């Protein structure tokens, strides 16, 4: 009897574990989307701008899970509406890596987990039934949407009809209040506000200390008193350790987060993986840049793309400290944008910018309607302007790796050789002189 009970318990436990494992495997299997799905139809439709934003917002998996469980209704803004309602500054805010949640909320606000056809809404409006409020896929304060009011914006009702959803075309972008508030806070630059430049105090070059004691304490948000070169790490070396800046531990800016954001922007932008690898893995420049920005300094990065970095030879990178020196020459201790640099070269012709590689400067001039840096074979054009601009760090993509002008030692010109002309003695000259002397005596 005991053996029968023991065998029954073992069988029960085995079946229980098998059921749990099967359920776990079923949960891990991603939902399969039919080729006739409304999500596939959206990606292949004429709503190209909306499809591109959905892919950049990493919402494909979320929408696949929603479509696999219930029907969805998409109020899809047309390409013209997205171009008109999303100004460049707001669109740049949405596409920044740190604002991915805002972009997702904006897109999910246009999607309703229910099947709403235009005929049903018209009938509901005539019968005056229901409140017209529907829950959207956007969670939080903007979860509900008044569809009856928003249906006035529909220009293409029942544009795409599928078994698992429907798409209505609208001529306006619906922006949730929370997304608008996040944009306003970022636009005001409350957390990383740029400061106006002020005259630098006088520094004693022998002690590298301030001569006037009133500049010893720097107020919050003010530019650092010492030049940026005083806060840089000692170098060059293979991996220079970042030195603390003049502000000490009182950091008024989150430089490490800003540097991380701009490196993530380079990776998502595409074409700048080599530069990001050098900043993070090959050197410790990313850490040093974060320290400098935390101390209040501003930086403009001239970022060579992958095609330009591929042209570097092994000899140029094999010397100790070579990667750091190359990158230092692409860091300008100023905050410059594409507009400010282009206006400068248009007005002044050639402009010299200081770099973190002392004492070399990078030369910029106008060429072919753009900004050209450097000269000759080592020049580069402003290829991808304003990849990242946040008030403290500006990243400008260029299509070449820049090198400073090396002092070329010209061999001194040899003095012209003066040929010695030796007078040849004339034959019979002595006899002629003797005869003339005898003749004078005889007379």
Structure confidence by residue, pLDDT tens digits, 146-182: 665 666 778 888 899 998 899 999 988 888 888 888 8
Look up tokens 């000490």; give the residue: 248
As a whole number of angstroms, the distance between CA 282 and CA 276 comes to 9
Q: Is the pLDDT of residue 246 over 50?
A: no
pLDDT digits (tens, 9 = 90+) for 265-309: 999 898 999 999 988 887 888 888 888 888 888 999 999 999 999
Confidence band for 219, pLDDT divided at 50, 70 and 90: low
Residue 240: per-residue pLDDT:
39
As a whole number of angstroms, the distance between CA 388 and CA 390 comes to 7
pLDDT digits (tens, 9 = 90+) for 91-102: 888 888 888 888
As a whole number of angstroms, the distance between CA 23 and CA 27 comes to 6
Q: What is the pTM of this model?
A: 0.44
Q: Which of 151, 179, 160 is CA-nearest to residue 85?
A: 179
Q: Is the pLDDT of residue 185 over 80?
A: no
Q: How many CA atoms lie within 13 A of 190 on its CB side?
A: 6
As a whole number of angstroms, the distance between CA 46 and CA 43 comes to 8
Residue 87: per-residue pLDDT:
83
SS3 category, 262: helix
pLDDT digits (tens, 9 = 90+) for 100-115: 888 998 999 888 888 8
More confident residue, 34 or 167: 167
User: What is the 3-class SS of 397-412, one letter each residue?
Assistant: EECCCCCCCCCCCCCC
- Min mean pLDDT across 78-87, 223-232, 319-328 is at 223-232
Q: Is the pLDDT of residue 129 over 50?
A: no
Number of residues that make up the chain: 443
How high does pLDDT run on average in the chain?
76
Distances (CA, A) of 318 to 215, 313, 324, 325, 402: 43, 9, 11, 12, 17
Task: Give yes or no for a contact between 165 and 115, defined as CB atoms under 8 angstroms apart.
Answer: yes
Residue 215: per-residue pLDDT:
45
Task: Give yes or no for a contact between 113 and 137, defined as CB atoms under 8 angstroms apart.
Answer: yes
What is the β-pairing status of strands 203-204 and 370-373?
unpaired
As a whole number of angstroms, the distance between CA 30 and CA 292 comes to 45
Residue 242: per-residue pLDDT:
40
Q: Which of 398, 372, 401, 378 is CA-nearest to residue 387?
A: 398
More confident residue, 143 or 263: 263
As a whole number of angstroms, the distance between CA 194 and CA 211 comes to 27
The CA angle 154-134-127, to the nearest 5 degrees, is: 75
- 388: preceding bond cis by omega (within 30 degrees): no
pLDDT digits (tens, 9 = 90+) for 377-430: 889 999 999 999 988 899 999 999 999 876 434 445 555 555 554 555 555 555
Q: Which of 137, 131, 130 is CA-nearest to residue 165?
A: 137
Alpha-carbon radius of gyration of the chain: 37
Query: Encoding tokens for residue 289?
Result: 């840049």
Cβ neighbourhood burial of 58 (10 Å; 0-12, 13-18, 19+): exposed
Residue 337: per-residue pLDDT:
92
């Amino acid at each position: 009897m005991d053996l029968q009970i023991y065998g029954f318990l073992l069988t029960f436990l085995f079946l229980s574990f098998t059921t749990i494992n099967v359920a776990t495997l079923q949960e891990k299997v991603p939902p399969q989307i039919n080729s006739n799905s409304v999500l596939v139809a959206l990606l292949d439709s004429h709503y190209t701008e909306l499809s591109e934003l959905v892919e950049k917002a990493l919402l494909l998996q979320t929408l696949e899970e929603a479509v696999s469980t219930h029907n969805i209704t998409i109020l899809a803004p047309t390409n013209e509406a997205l171009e008109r309602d999303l100004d460049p500054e707001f669109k740049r805010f949405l596409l920044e890596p740190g604002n991915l949640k805002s972009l997702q909320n904006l897109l999910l606000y246009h999607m309703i987990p229910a099947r709403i056809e235009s005929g049903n809404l018209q009938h509901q409006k005539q019968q005056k039934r229901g409140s017209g409020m529907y829950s959207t896929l956007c969670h939080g304060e903007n979860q509900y949407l008044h569809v009856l009011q928003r249906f006035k914006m529909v220009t293409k009702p029942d544009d795409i009809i599928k078994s698992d959803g429907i798409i209505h075309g609208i001529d306006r972008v619906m922006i949730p209040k929370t997304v608008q508030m996040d944009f306003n806070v970022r636009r005001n630059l409350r957390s990383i506000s740029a400061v106006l430049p002020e005259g630098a105090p006088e520094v004693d070059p022998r002690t590298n200390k301030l001569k006037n004691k009133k500049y010893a304490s720097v107020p919050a948000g003010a530019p650092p008193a010492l030049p940026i070169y005083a806060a840089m790490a000692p170098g060059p070396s293979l991996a220079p350790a970042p030195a603390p800046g003049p502000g000490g531990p009182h950091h008024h800016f989150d430089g490490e987060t800003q540097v991380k954001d701009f490196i993530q922007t380079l990776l998502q932008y595409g074409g700048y993986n080599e530069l990001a690898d050098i900043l993070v893995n090959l050197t410790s420049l990313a850490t040093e840049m974060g320290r400098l920005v935390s101390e209040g300094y501003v930086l403009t990065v001239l970022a060579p793309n992958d095609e330009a970095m591929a042209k570097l030879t092994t000899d140029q990178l094999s010397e100790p400290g070579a990667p750091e020196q190359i990158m230092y020459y692409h860091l300008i201790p100023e905050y410059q944008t594409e507009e400010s640099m282009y206006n400068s070269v248009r007005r002044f012709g050639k402009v010299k910018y200081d770099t973190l590689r002392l004492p070399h400067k990078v030369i910029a001039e106008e060429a072919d309607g753009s900004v050209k840096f450097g000269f000759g074979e080592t020049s580069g054009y402003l290829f991808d302007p304003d990849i990242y601009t946040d008030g403290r760090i500006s990243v400008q993509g260029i299509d070449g790796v820049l090198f400073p002008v090396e002092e070329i030692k010209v061999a001194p010109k040899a003095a012209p050789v003066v040929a010695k002309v030796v007078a040849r003695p004339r034959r019979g000259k002595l006899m002629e002189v003797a005869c003339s002397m005898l003749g004078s005596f005889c007379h």
